[in-house]
Structure 1
Amino acid sequence: MKIAKLSVLRPIAMSMVIVLMLILGAVSMRSMTVDLFPELTFPIVAVTTTYEGAGPEEIENLISSPIENAMGTLPNVESVTSISRTGGSLVLVAFTWGTNMDFAALDMRERIDAVRDFLPPGAQLPRVLRFNPSDLPIVQLAITDPSGEMVKAKRLAEEEIEPELNSVDGIASISVEGGAESEVRVTLDPNTLSSFGISIDQLQQIIASENLNLPGGALTDQNQDLPIRITGEYASITDIKTLPIPNSKGIIQLDQLGEVKETLQPTTQLSYLNGEPAVGMSILKQSGSNTVTVANDINKKLEEIKETLPEGVEIKPIFDQSQFIEQSIRAVASNMILGSLLAALVLYFFLRNLRSTLIILFSIPLSIVTTFIFMYFSGQTLNLLTLGGLALGIGMMVDNATVILENIYRLRQKGYSLKDAAIEGTSEVGPAIIASTLTTVIVFLPIVFVDGLAAQLFKPLALVVSFSLLASLFTALIIVPLFSSLLLKVNNKSSRFEERFSTFSLWYRNLLYKALQHPKKTISLVLLLLVASLFGTPFIGKEFLPQQDQSFISMTARLPDGSSLDATYDVMEEIDERLKGIEEIDLSFVTVGGTDNFSVSAGTQLNRSNYSILLVPLSERNRADTEVGDEIRELISDIPGVEISISSGDSGFSQNPVSLSITGPDLDTLKDMADQTITLLSDIEGIREPSSNYTEGNPEIVVDIDRVKASQFGVGSAQIASAVSSATRGVVASRMAREGEELDIRLTIEDTYTSSIQDLETLLISTPTGENIPLQAVATVTRGQGPSQITRTDRLREITVNADIVNRDLGSVVEDIEKTLKENVYIPTKQYKITIGGQDEQMNDAFFKLGGALALAVVLVYMVMAAQFESYYYPFIIMFSVPLTIIGIIIGLLVTFQPLGVGSLVGMLILTGIVVNNAIVFVDYVNLLKKDGNSTVEAILIAGPTRIRPILMTTLTTILGLIPLTLGIGEGMEIQQPMAIVIVFGLSFATLITLVLIPVLYYLLDQFKEKRQAKKMEKVEL
């Protein structure tokens, strides 16, 4: 080929090009962003709103419903789900894949602006949050103080540590959880207030109006224009205690109405590290910034901060995503090096020539460097999938170079000069190499048209594999001929290996001859093997994405709704005690109350404890995170009244393994169906912790206002609600600034007046006439039960049943679920439905789309070959290599106990492109021999022994290059492993069968073609 000729004749110019590429590649690699996964855009947007003190039903009617109505009119909306719970609303809007989420979020904000005037006073303005796995914290820290003074610890976190960390480039936001804050609390006696004729509202207004610094105009004095500032802000608690309060009897000090003291704010969230009080910090990075660089900069800054901390105060990392990334990247890199060395050993084994091996070895880093250049300019990041694509490409990178080098080597043995052998050897197999590379690259084109999570994950991998193959093509056509013309040295002496390989080639020639003599038997035997392998299909499970051991376990312990923070804390202490016996646990950080850091939520959940459990590194333990999680389940399963949910190996973007959506109009019926479903799921093998998002109800106190009686006293519902709220929760009247901090001034009623229903009934309500009446005079106070959470999807009431899976594949579990529900669950009417969602829905969607991409890839591969051979006969023969991969794929998945998943399907896609390469090289050489005057049988019998060496070499280099990935050595290899298994086993079996079947099919179709031409000739003669 002309390019090869140019590279051979211009070695100095080409050497300069190589040096330039190495420099450019090194710069590109250093400039690329390092992350765990490619940046994903999820078509889900959350709208969160808080409304303090409101119950789920009020939240549903006043907040969730108006927002739902507004969101439902947006274009490309797939579903709208609302979750209404005490104190907050969460509305999740799911769009169709492919929607421009920037414009969608903008549209949502416009719709919210239109409805915010209809929201009740006091409700927080709704916030629009995009859901993205990259928005999860990259680093989580715990700050502990041995003195146990959490006020100081939180102040230290907010005022010293957070500002220092904010100076680190790439940090988007830092949130502080747990700890405690001080406030000035004024505890009042209603009877005392009544005796002086003062209400809480009046007291609030007085305290707020006195706590002001105001401008008082200006004064000219001695030719100076001086501004007047009137200072009235409280400087100390004494100022508040001595505040004069006018009343019907004169003026008294505030401390005469109640106790004024500095204390801790009431909290709904507590944080602990290994059982000790702690303050948590979650750090999010900016979109597009380098996770590893940002995390390393954070750690450097923390080392500086630690030197300035008070004695005994410690900052401990709970979670550092960069550590897993670095471990995973090191594992991929080592697998790439190991794969390259194994490939080099194959080359040396076949060629027995050190210089030839070194030529190929040098072509690998050059191809990798070229790939990095392509990756940088296409905007790719260094992550598990792109580096996995590079690792997948390592074995295939040397294929092209191997075929060309082997051909050059063969011509040198025939007596060609170095330059002539390099030029002629490249020109001879160059077209076949280009065609085989294009067939591999073209299979990734259909992924461009696929949407969904699987496509977003594997598009970068497909691009990198394509880049690596194109880079290897460049290296094979230009660099290998260049170095061969300068360095290649031929061993003309016949070695023992050559003698043995000649014997093997002769055996293969005899096998080919026998197969050509009995073509029907050969085809029948292959078909029998194919059918036999298909019987193994029912024994292969299915999954969406494999779990990854990130040495991290997330756990939630939930008590019955209505449980107090103290009750949740007591359970946490018991769980902590039981976890101490597990050796694999390094750190345990728990947040009692509130919500966890890894989910979008709203409202208060005092009955929840969220655990972030950090395990020792994988290299230091013998059990996987799922096994440790199973032991935790067993240890705490007997704690009464506690529901445990454990998640391990989560990639951050998969849904629940098992998720059943039960929809219908009546909530009681839905509850019965959900209870029945949970009972049935508990008996299915492999399912853990089935639970629903519906609970029996939240204990509540109902104040039913008698409007007739209330109107007689001149009070309204709003005034009564305000009085009850002020008595039970207190009211913040103002804030006091002191030494750089601000303390709330909270007015509360003594606990003795709100400790029971009877006390609440005697709560005094002020009337416009100055009279104080008990609450029971205008309302009835009773104890009741309300829903703790109300969930609706597309305006239909919904209960979701979720479960985890352990030691079983998703497909088998879902089959058992479908069968069990069909036989045992009673569905009253067509209005009620049970739908299986979660990972099963994601899996089916991915299988359907990738299956279509696979079918289109087969068509595209055929079209490329048809263009290359300028015939539809020969590509048709070669395409028989593709179904033969099924034999190896099924055997590989069965032997390795690997379920069929998205990774396996992508492996099949890659396999479709590379499995035809050997057949292309074989058929191309047969055609070349036929042009020289050989018959079909002679050409096949010559081409077989001649091409057996490069075919075996390229196959073994690909297979051995993928062996480290197949074994899943190192952290983060779980996603690449299924792809590698499919390629290794599929290519192995397909190659062995192809070496015999393709020649037989070529012979039969060539005979058919000749007979057809003979008939045409007869018709012409007639």
Structure 2
Amino acid sequence: MFNRIIDWAVINRLLVVIALITLTVSAVFIIPKLNLDAFPDVTNVQVSVNTEAPGLAAEEVEQLITYPIEAVMYALPDVEEVRSISKTGLSGVTVVFKEGTDIYFARQLVFERLQAAKELIPDGVGTPEMGPNTSGLGQVYQYLLVAEPDAGFDAMALRSLNDWVVKLLLIPAEGVTDVLSFGGEVRQYQVNLNPSRLLAYELTQDDVMMALERNNTNVGGWYMNRGQEQLVIRGTGWLDHGEKGLEQIRQVPLKTVDGTTITVSDVAQVALGSEIRQGAVTMTRKNADDKVENLGEVVSGIVLKRMGANTKATIDGVNARIERINQALPEGVRFEAFYDQADLITQAVQTVVNALLLAFIFIVVILALFLMNLRATFLVLMSIPISIGIALMVMAWFGLSANLMSLGGIAVAIGMLVDGSVVMVENMFKHLTHPDAEHDTQRQSRVDSDDVDPVDAAHDRHGIALRLQEAGKEVARPIFFATAIILVVFMPLFSFEGVEAKLFQPMAISIMLAMLSAVLVALIIVPALATYLFRRRVRQRESFVLKPLDLLYRKGLAWAMGHSKVVVGIAAIMVVAAALVLPRLGTEFVPELEEGTINLRVTLAPSSSLDTALEVAPKLEAKLMEFPEVTYALSRIGRAEIGGDPEPVNNIEIYIGLKPVPEWTSADNRYELQSLMEQKLEQHPGLLFNFSQPIATRVDELLSGVKAQLAIKLFGPDLAVLAEKGQAIEAAVKEIEGARDVAMEQIAGESQLVVKPNRRALSRYGLAVGDVMELVREGLGGASAGQIINGNERYDIYVRLA
């Protein structure tokens, strides 16, 4: 078989060259479509289900919403795990499927089961919805909406622009699945009822809500003929927006008393206000003059990449829309990106490319010095770009991601890519410069003894192709089996499952593709091209580098053969020494990527309010900005709108932008800088700090479900016992050398005001428990009585007791 391959390649060399040119042209068009990522996405196949339950405490959310959803999801096929989190006003359920399950099939299954779950959830409590189709590393881009001080746009106006202008322009970008708004204030038309006035006019909250709903409606009456025309009949009774809308709400009639009309303004204060929120964003940064400026509370957006989409292409698509977005925004407001993974991807790819180029240069130098023939050197080097190009084309064709691991695999294999070609070319070179033993006698009788070049190819102008064929046949089998042995070494990596498979299999695939491509190059392309490159004479030149090395090796080999016991003894000692040192070798699950951004997680007391966190965040930012290495500090407090991380308001996540490492003056590396930051921030007592990086934090959470490098999980039925044992584990772990930022995840401590009805008193007054609960839910918590619609914008009319 191998002989036939070599014969075919030499005989059909023109066809091989045409195929090589076609392959090169194809690579130019296919490789740019390769998915580029900084780090392999280790997200398993999962579908999230989120349910907003306004006003419900975590315990009721768990019992009324989370449990029913979990119960129906276990019946789905190929489900590996169902986990959940219940917080005040929010339920989050994550359904994890087996690897290999199509994500859209999984979402379809979850959607079908949600219909059954909705029947188990009480009416009015909440409606479960599937989360965005994104991965754990899907937050690839974050931006700000910044207004000039005299532009007249407050946090509420900026949030409206983000929700109804910017998001609608970003979502159509290729690869974007959703855009989450974070920070600012969601506009509401608030009707704050005066309980005393309601009692005086014998009105209830339901009366006001019904009146608002009846005075805010549009209808259609189909058609009416007028002569030869057909008129569309419309009834337009929607409330206007802005101040005019507020005045119309105030004039909504409620009842008539003694000929006097009682309106909403008689029983309530009507004004624009903010929706009850559980998240905010603040930012401090340095301007072009390196002066610190505190932007205060800002509005930001988080772009979520669709699962499987090209990260680099998605970010480029978002950047391409920035000019259009700024044109759509009013004067004085601008769109500014503060975090994206494009630079990180570029740096990761550039790191690997630099390693490849450096290795390529070394290979050029070594081959040129040892082969001492430019044509032979060129023929060997051709195998590197061709093999890598074929590997990248196959990866692009099958949708595999090019990231630090897969490209790093190619960089590791670059030295092995030329092995087959080196053996093939060296043997061809030998055949062209030294005749075989059978024909050496004939050469001596036919060529003069004083000929300076007795084996000149000019004497055998018609036999070069035959020599190349014979040379290729001699080494084709060893080349193939030597490569096969290397490929077998990587086969066990395909037995990995879960996160390990997602991390290491791309590296194995890239190496194996490159090695297979290198074999094809050595067995087909090299023999074909050799027939074109070796048409002129080939003279052997002795390498001035190889000669002393050969002499040194011969002496060393002779000494080793004469002192075999000493050599074996030294080898045995080295093996024992390695065995003793090996346990002391540090280990990491994956290499840590320097992202250029620090992610600082700050945890306040469980009972802390949003206002408290908003007071603390700017102070922490000011301390961080004292470091010359820091360019900005952005604090994300609590959670974004539904679909983001379900964090409580006592959690502050600070993104710290850094200058390039060569410009650092306070520390030599990130770990030293983090230590200095922690020392400065410890001036604020009662806070827990955890330093990491954005992508590293996401990977940690995907591995363990906790945003930490190492997590210990404790299971049991009693929450109080779990908390007690958790504190004991925390104290023990803190004593371990090397452990830092050890903290138990907060599972209790949230302050509550519990309204518990007195059933005997309610019975005395003829009231039901539901009457009291309705007062708590709608009177204190508030309820929506319709919406104000302005074009695409929609704002709730919110009614509650003042």
Question: Gapped runs of 5+ residues in structure 1?
Answer: 751-1022
* Aligned-partner residue type, residue 375 of structure 2: R
In the alignment, which residue of structure 2 is the partner of 1:555? Answer: 600
Distance 1:495 1:698 in 2: 78
Could you say which residue in structure 2 is the equivalent of 1:809? Answer: none
**Number of aligned residues:** 745
Aligned position for 1:833: none
Q: What residue is the counterpart of 1:575 in the other structure?
A: 620
1:585 aligns with 2:630: yes
Q: 1:262 matched to which residue of 2?
A: 272
Equivalents in 1 of 2:502, 2:275: separation in Å?
46
Asked whether 1:144 is paired with 2:196, we answer no
Instruction: Specify the alignment match of 2:761 in structure 1.
Output: 709
The answer to whether the 8 Å contact 1:547/1:649 transfers is: no
Greater Cα shift, 112-121 or 259-268 = 259-268
The 1:626/1:128 distance shift into structure 2, 3 A limit, reads farther
Separation in 1 of the partners of 2:772 and 2:75? 38
Tell me by how many angstroms 1:525 deviates: 4.5
| Alpha-carbon distance in structure 1 between the residues aligned to 2:338 and 2:41 | 23
Partner-residue secondary structure (3-state), 2:754: strand
Give the match for residue 562 of structure 2: 514
Aligned pair 1:17/2:24, yes or no?
A: no
* Preserved contact between residue 592 and residue 610 of structure 1 (Cα < 8 Å): yes
| Residue-by-residue CA offset, 1:898-921 (whole Å, 9 max, x unaligned) | xxxxxxxxxxxxxxxxxxxxxxxx
Deviation, 1:193, is: 1.3
CA distance in 1, matches of 2:226, 2:19: 81
Decide which of 760, 773, 778 is 1:721's aligned counterpart.
773
- The corresponding residue for 1:538 is 583
1:348 matched residue in structure 2: 368
Q: Is the 8 A contact 2:133 2:307 kept in 1?
A: no
Please list, as runs of the form range in 1=range in 2, the aligned pairs for 1:25-36 lying within 5 A after superposition: 25-36=27-38
Partner of 1:765: none
Which of 288, 301, 309 lines up with 1:281 in the alignment?
301
Specify which structure has the higher proportion of helix.
1
1:413 aligns with 2:433: yes
Shift, 1:47, TM fit: 3.1
Distance change (3 Å), C-alpha of 1:310 and 1:66: closer
Q: Cα gap change, 1:619/1:128 in structure 2, threshold over 3 Å: closer, same or farther?
A: farther
CA deviations on 1:182-234 (whole Å, 9 max, x unpaired) are: 33323332112111111111111111112122346766666766555444332
Do the aligned partners of 2:188 and 2:274 also contact (CA within 8 Å) in 1?
yes
Alignment of 1:242-261 (within 5 A): 242-249=251-258, 250-261=260-271
Equivalent runs, 1:686-697 vs 2, <5 Å = 686-697=738-749
Equivalent pair of 1:549/1:649 in contact (CA under 8 Å): no
Give the aligned residue type for 1:611.
Answer: I
Unaligned runs of 5+ in 2: 285-293, 436-454, 458-463
* Alpha-carbon spacing, 1:511–1:129, altered in 2? closer, same or farther (3 Å): farther
Which stretch shows the higher mean deviation, 285-294 or 714-723?
A: 285-294
Measured at CA, do residues 370 and 68 of structure 1 come closer, stay the same or move farther in structure 2, by a change above 3 Å? closer
Aligned residue for 1:157? 162
- Structure 1 residue 332: Cα displacement: 1.2
CA distance in 2, matches of 1:605, 1:50: 14
Give the Cα–Cα distance (whole angstroms) in 2 for the partners of residues 218 and 108 of structure 1.
Answer: 43
Query: How much does 1:575 deviate?
Result: 0.7
Deviation at 1:567, TM superposition (A): 1.0
The CA deviation at 1:482 is: 3.9
Instruction: Quote how far apart the aligned CAs of 1:401 are.
Output: 1.2
Give SS of 1:246's match: strand
Aligned equivalent of 2:490, options 427, 444, 450: 444
Equivalent AA in structure 1 for residue 745 of structure 2: N
How many Å separate the matches in 2 of 1:575 and 1:490? 73
Task: Give, in whole Å, the separation in 2 of the partners of 1:239 and 1:337.
Answer: 71
> 1:262 corresponds to which letter in structure 2?
L
Q: Amino acid of the residue matched to residue 642 of structure 1?
A: L
Amino acid at match of 2:590: L
Question: What percentage of residue pairs aligned between the two structures are identical?
Answer: 25
Residue pairs, 1:869-1018, within 5 angstroms: none
The superposition leaves residues 632-675 of structure 1 with CA deviations (integer Å, 9 ceiling, x where unpaired) of: 32221231232223322744333332111122233222222111
Question: What is the match of residue 188 of structure 1?
Answer: 193
Q: Would you say the 8 A contact 2:164–2:792 is kept in 1?
A: no
**Aligned partners of 1:668 and 1:715: how far apart in 2?**
36
Aligned match for 1:69, one of 68, 71, 76: 71
Task: Return the alpha-carbon distance in structure 1 between the equivalents of residues 791 and 587 of structure 2.
Answer: 62
1:667 to 719, 734, 748: 719
Show CA shifts across 1:975-995 (max 9, x none).
Answer: xxxxxxxxxxxxxxxxxxxxx
Pick from 189, 193, 218 the counterpart of residue 213 of structure 1: 218
1:335 to 2:364 alignment: no
Question: Following TM superposition, by how much is the alpha carbon of 1:743 offset from its aligned partner in structure 2, in angstroms?
Answer: 3.6
* Aligned counterparts of 2:274 and 2:734: Cα–Cα separation in 1: 44
Equivalent residue in structure 2 for 1:88, among 70, 79, 90: 90
Q: For residues 347 and 231 of structure 1, what CA distance do their matches in structure 2 show?
A: 83
SS at match of 1:279: strand
Q: Distance in 2 between matches of 1:639 and 1:443?
A: 54
Is 383-392 or 478-487 further displaced after alignment? 478-487
For 2:611 and 2:482, locate their aligned partners in 1 and report how far apart those are by CA, in whole Å: 68
> C-alpha distance in 2, partners of 1:16/1:507?
49
Distance of 2:321 and 2:193 partners within structure 1: 47
Which residue is equivalent to 2:438? Answer: none
- Shift in alpha-carbon separation, 1:403–1:48, aligned structure 2, 3 A: same
- Mapped partners of 1:360, 1:618: distance in 2: 38
Which whole-Å CA distance do the structure 2 matches of 1:258 and 1:377 have between them?
A: 64
Choose the corresponding residue for 1:371, options 391, 394, 404: 391
2:303 aligned with 1:294, yes or no?
A: no
User: 1:168·1:294 contact (CA, 8 Å) conserved in 2?
Assistant: yes
Which residue of 2 is the match for residue 959 of structure 1? none
Residue in 1 that maps onto 2:175? 170
Confirm whether residue 608 of structure 1 aligns to residue 651 of structure 2: yes
Contact 1:217 1:228 in 2 (8 A): yes
Contact 1:35 1:325 (8 Å CA) reproduced:
yes
**How far 1:739 moved relative to its partner?**
6.5
Normalised by the size of structure 1, how large is the TM-score?
Answer: 0.68
d(CA) in 2 for partners of 1:340, 1:177: 47
Give the direction of change, closer, same or farther, for the CA distance of 1:349–1:574 in structure 2 (3 Å limit): same
Q: Separation in 1 of the partners of 2:228 and 2:477?
A: 96
Measured after TM superposition, the shift of residue 522 of structure 1 is: 5.0
Query: Is 1:47 aligned with 2:49?
Result: yes
**Cα distance in 2, alignment partners of residues 408 and 222 from structure 1:** 96
Call closer, same or farther: CA 1:445–1:315 in 2, change over 3 Å.
Answer: same
Pair 372,735 (structure 1): closer, same or farther in 2 beyond 3 Å: closer
Q: How far apart are 1:434 and its partner, in Å?
A: 1.1
Deviations 1:849-880 (A, max 9, x none): xxxxxxxxxxxxxxxxxxxxxxxxxxxxxxxx
Structure 1 letter corresponding to 2:183: G
